[in-house]
């Protein structure tokens, strides 16, 4: 009841596309009965959560914030949704995003932008939530939900976590099933977790991680539940943390830079060894991602033809016209642009020059990570270069320019598949959250989360 009431109260921040009131009441009643009998299913039993609207939810409309899927009602649950339900969570709503998760602001949704609670003045003067999982982030930051699921292909969980002042985890690629997550870039997509604290994040990860036969890229090694030691009992002695110098970007704000230094110093005085390292291919990550993204988008979006799925235009003078009109009316400009560019890159004459080359650069970026793990166990970087931009400034830029700035620090982790977490550190002088990112080698979540908890 409280969560549903808050969902109404905080409507102006636009966290949800759909509030699942009936389902929430049903799940909550069942949970209450279990609690009365002293038999909760798990530590998540009865917990209010939000799911980004690009995860399929059985009998609940799943729109991807696009006209194309405005009326799409899946017949099955995504694995993360299914597992959360089995743990007794209560779904409050499907949260807002950039259309098909393409963006980093949650400004390109047919349901309007999400708005950050931090620094909000009125509907003309507000900061972006970041994105594309901005609805999920603000559902947690406002206190409506205890946790939320986002997706992360280039930073979409960590970026809004950073701007909304909450914890955002992108797990190792394959640790959490992608089944039922509507794809953006299959080889980089991972479900992400948004919570107020690192401990909450661990509880949700423990509920959703582990092998799933419905996802061919799911890691088959059995998942061992993580139990974090209390922060006071932890020692950072002998832990080597790298500061990759290429993450120092000309657009990095002074406040974020200072925070990065302060935290590095604190970690050092707590016994960790802080070491400057080099990851020379970092700067190519954005361009490389943009090629791979658009190629995969061109292929993934071909299923929306107006016949089998989703929006169908009135135009029916020929099949070709029906396809074309449905797609041009159903997708926004960002999606259409990426499809066009992707198809250009995939033309036989361009394939070698763009797509194949981008795959090679991706391998070089991943190799930077492999090499750096010979020197250090974790990397500490900013999550975002600045605090949350004002909506009106942000939308002056094209989607491509937005992504280039927003994803600078988050994108490389997706190229390499490694886990990364955004941790809120403090408020800037203007009262906006500043966050930092920790990255670790594949499947190092237990250590990554423990150190995140220490920093938090």
Active-site residues, by number, are: 52, 132, 156
The reply on whether position 407 binds ligand GLN by CB under 6 A is yes
Give me the 274-313 binding string for ligand GLN, x by CB under 6 A, dash otherwise: -------------------x--------------------
Site for ligand GLN in 124-153 (CB under 6 A): 132, 151-153
Q: How many CA atoms lie within 13 A of 257 on its CB side?
A: 10
167-170 vs 240-244, strand pairing mode:
unpaired
The reply on whether position 101 binds ligand GLN by CB under 6 A is yes
Residue owning tokens 């080099």: 278
The reply on whether position 102 binds ligand GLN by CB under 6 A is yes
The reply on whether position 335 binds ligand GLN by CB under 6 A is no
The reply on whether position 420 binds ligand GLN by CB under 6 A is no
Whether the Cβ atoms of residue 202 and residue 335 lie closer than 8 Å to each other: no
User: Shortest distance, CB of residue 279 to ligand GLN, whole angstroms?
Assistant: 20
From CA 342, how far away is CA 309, in angstroms rounded? 21
Of 88 and 155, CB closest to ligand GLN: 155
The reply on whether position 46 binds ligand GLN by CB under 6 A is no
From CA 380, how far away is CA 454, in angstroms rounded? 13
Whether the Cβ atoms of residue 375 and residue 441 lie closer than 8 Å to each other: no
Binder of ligand GLN out of 48, 103, 135, 160 (CB under 6 A): 103
- In three-state secondary structure terms, 183 is coil
From CA 392, how far away is CA 398, in angstroms rounded? 13
User: Shortest distance, CB of residue 175 to ligand GLN, whole angstroms?
Assistant: 17
The reply on whether position 109 binds ligand GLN by CB under 6 A is no
User: Shortest distance, CB of residue 345 to ligand GLN, whole angstroms?
Assistant: 15
The reply on whether position 156 binds ligand GLN by CB under 6 A is yes
From CA 298, how far away is CA 289, in angstroms rounded? 14
The reply on whether position 403 binds ligand GLN by CB under 6 A is yes
Please count the residues of this chain forming the interface with ligand GLN, following the rule CB under 6 A.
15
Give the closest residue to 140 by CA, choosing from 164, 123, 120, 104.
Answer: 164
Per-position DSSP letters for 300-325, written without gaps between them: HGGG--SSSSS---S--SSHHHHHHH
| Residues at the interface with ligand GLN (CB under 6 A) | 101-104, 132, 151-156, 184, 293, 403, 407
């Amino acid at each position: 009841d409280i969560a549903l009431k808050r969902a109404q109260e905080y409507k102006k921040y636009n966290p949800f596309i759909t509030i699942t009131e009936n389902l929430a009441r049903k799940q909550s009643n069942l949970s209450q009965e279990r609690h009365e009998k002293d038999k909760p299913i798990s530590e998540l039993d009865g917990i209010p959560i939000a799911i980004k609207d690009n995860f399929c939810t059985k009998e609940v409309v799943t729109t991807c914030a696009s006209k194309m899927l405005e009326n799409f009602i899946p017949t099955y649950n995504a694995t993360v949704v299914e597992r959360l339900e089995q743990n007794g969570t209560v779904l409050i709503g499907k949260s807002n995003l950039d259309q098909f998760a393409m963006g980093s602001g949650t400004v390109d949704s047919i349901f309007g932008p999400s708005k950050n609670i931090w620094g909000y003045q009125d509907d003309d003067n507000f900061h972006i939530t970041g994105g594309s999982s901005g609805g999920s982030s603000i559902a947690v930051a406002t206190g409506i939900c205890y946790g939320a699921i986002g997706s992360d292909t280039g930073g979409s969980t960590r970026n809004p976590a950073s701007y909304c002042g909450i914890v955002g985890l992108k797990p190792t690629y394959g640790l959490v099933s992608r089944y039922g997550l509507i794809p953006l870039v299959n080889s980089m997509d991972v479900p992400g977790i948004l919570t107020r604290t690192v401990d909450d994040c661990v509880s949700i990860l423990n509920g959703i991680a582990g092998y799933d036969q419905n996802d061919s890229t799911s890691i088959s090694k059995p998942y061992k539940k993580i139990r974090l030691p209390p922060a006071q009992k932890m020692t950072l002695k002998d832990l080597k943390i790298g500061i990759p110098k290429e993450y120092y970007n000309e657009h990095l704000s002074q406040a974020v830079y200072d925070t990065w230094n302060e935290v590095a110093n604190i970690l050092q005085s707590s016994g960790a060894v802080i070491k400057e390292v080099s990851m020379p291919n970092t700067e190519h990550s954005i361009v490389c991602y943009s090629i791979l993204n658009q190629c995969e988008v061109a292929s993934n979006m071909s299923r929306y033809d107006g016949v089998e799925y989703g929006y169908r235009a009135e135009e029916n003078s020929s099949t070709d016209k029906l396809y074309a009109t449905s797609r041009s009316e159903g997708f926004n400009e960002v999606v259409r642009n990426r499809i066009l560019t992707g198809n250009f890159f995939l033309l036989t004459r361009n394939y070698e020059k763009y797509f194949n080359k981008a795959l090679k650069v991706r391998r070089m970026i991943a190799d930077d990570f492999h090499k750096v793990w010979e020197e250090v166990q974790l990397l500490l970087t900013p999550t975002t270069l600045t605090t949350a931009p004002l909506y009106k400034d942000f939308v002056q830029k094209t989607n491509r320019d937005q992504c280039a700035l927003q994803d600078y620090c988050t994108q490389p982790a997706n190229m390499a598949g490694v886990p990364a977490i955004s941790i809120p550190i403090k408020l800037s002088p203007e009262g906006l959250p500043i966050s930092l990112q920790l990255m670790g080698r594949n499947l190092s979540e237990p250590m990554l989360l423990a150190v995140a908890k220490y920093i938090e």
